[in-house]
Amino acid sequence: MTITHTWSIRELVQLNDASGTVVRVGYNVNSTDGNISTESGGGVELDVENIENFISYGKLTEEMVLSWVREKLGENLGNHEINNAAWIDSVVNPPAPKTIRSTLPW
């Protein structure tokens, strides 16, 4: 089967100043192949020093925030998907053990 990866936002942390400025985003990546799934996640700190085109908290969408996460992760963006896929593959196709117990040859 084909592994599907679904990114989602699990939390937004705002400054405690009533501005609605998001400073940290927690995200999850759920990867599924048939009835096998795994999830990983993390968090990114946002640079709020020089905000251009501020969007009020109530107008944020998950896709907007996911774009911030993707931008912050940059070249590491695919690591969650790669690691999740490797785990699923290890369940579907378990590696052969390095050693086996054998009967004595005599």
Is 92 in contact with 36 (CB distance < 8 Å)? yes
- What is the DSSP code (8-state) at residue 31? E
**pLDDT number for residue 1:** 65
Q: Is residue 31 part of a domain?
A: yes
Lookup result for tokens 């799934």:
37
Q: Is residue 41 part of a domain?
A: yes
Q: Is residue 102 part of a domain?
A: no
**Order of all β-strands in the sheet with 22-33:** 4-14, 22-33, 36-45
**pLDDT number for residue 49:** 83
Q: Is residue 100 part of a domain?
A: no
Q: Is residue 26 part of a domain?
A: yes
Predicted TM-score of the model (pTM): 0.82
Instruction: Give the domain extent around 68.
Output: 4-49+58-92
How far apart CA 49 and CA 72 sit, in angstroms, is 15
**pLDDT number for residue 77:** 84
**Total count of domains within the chain:** 1
Q: Is residue 104 part of a domain?
A: no
